[in-house]
């Protein structure tokens, strides 16, 4: 099974860190985001990767090379100008079109979810073309709980809101997806709504996993704290 990593964005909200390097090479606990992703995919048996590059592509290619130093095999596609997530994936059609199912990952997330659970679910639903990993929304604020008489009962720091689900940026897809992909545009805005309206898109909920999107400097600092707490040995 192959996995594609969307690694072509500018990472504007992480400036100035991304002024001289692409977002996937930003380090968390001393290791680039994309390396965390590769190690995670490898843990689940995925060793053939397609890196969808754009901004500062030469730095990603220079860092990862053929993938041999991480014990994986890597090929690259290149956006010469921004094409969006759907357009970037479209450029990998020749590499992925012979796969029964493949994994697609946004290049700015770190997670422990098991993507093979989604693969298995998609395999059992032949009418679906793609499946999105969903995780509960984490409240950005601490929550205060009140008793009926108005006295404060407890405080809860940034709880998960399990009734609200968000796109976790991990997808499994069949090659039929390429019929839906434009040359330019985003999966989230153009492709997924169309698949949903055609009843060809499934969601798979992960309640008990680690997940963090690295969009801002604040996210980066919080991820550092979380990962050091969750993983006893980080390099």
Residues whose CB is less than 8 angstroms from the CB of residue 169 and which lie 6 or more positions away in sequence, other chains included: 105, 106, 108, 109, 133, 213
Is 158 one of the annotated active-site residues of the chain? Answer: yes
Which two three-digit tokens encode residue 182?
A: 């434009």
Encode burial over 181-197: b for 16+ CB neighbours within 10 A, e otherwise. beeebebeebbbeebee
Establish how many alpha carbons lie within 13 A of residue 164's alpha carbon, considering only the half-sphere containing its beta carbon: 6
Q: Which of 158, 189, 194, 218 is catalytic?
A: 158
CA distances from 163 to 21, 109, 136, 160, 205 (A): 37, 22, 7, 9, 11
Q: CA-based angle 112:10:191, to the nearest 5?
A: 70
What is the Cα Rg of the chain in Å? 19
Query: CA 121, 46, 133, 206 torsion: positive or negative?
Result: positive
Q: CA-based angle 112:178:104, to the nearest 5?
A: 10
Q: How far apart are CA 55 and CA 7, in angstroms?
A: 8
> Residues with catalytic annotation?
158
């Amino acid at each position: 099974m192959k996995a594609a990593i969307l690694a072509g964005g500018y990472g504007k909200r992480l400036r100035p860190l991304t002024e001289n390097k692409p977002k996937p090479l930003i380090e968390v606990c001393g290791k680039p985001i994309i390396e965390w992703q590769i190690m995670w995919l490898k843990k689940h048996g995925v060793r053939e990767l397609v890196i969808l590059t754009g901004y500062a592509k030469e730095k990603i290619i220079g860092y990862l090379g053929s993938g041999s130093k991480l014990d994986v095999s890597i090929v690259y596609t290149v956006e010469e100008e921004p094409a969006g997530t759907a357009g970037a994936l479209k450029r990998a059609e020749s590499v992925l079109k012979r796969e029964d199912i493949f994994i697609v990952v946004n290049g700015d997330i770190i997670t422990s979810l098991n993507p093979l659970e989604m693969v298995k679910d998609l395999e059992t639903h032949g009418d679906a073309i793609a499946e999105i990993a969903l995780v509960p929304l984490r409240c950005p604020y601490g929550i205060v709980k009140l008793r009926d008489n108005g006295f404060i009962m407890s405080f809860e720091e940034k709880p998960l809101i399990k009734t609200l689900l968000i796109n976790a940026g991990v997808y499994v897809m069949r090659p039929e997806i390429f019929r839906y992909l434009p040359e330019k545009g985003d999966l989230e805005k153009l492709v997924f709504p169309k698949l949903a309206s055609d009843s060809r898109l499934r969601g798979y909920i992960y309640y008990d996993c680690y997940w963090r999107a690295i969009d801002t400097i604040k996210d980066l600092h919080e991820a550092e704290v979380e990962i050091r707490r969750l993983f006893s040995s980080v390099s």
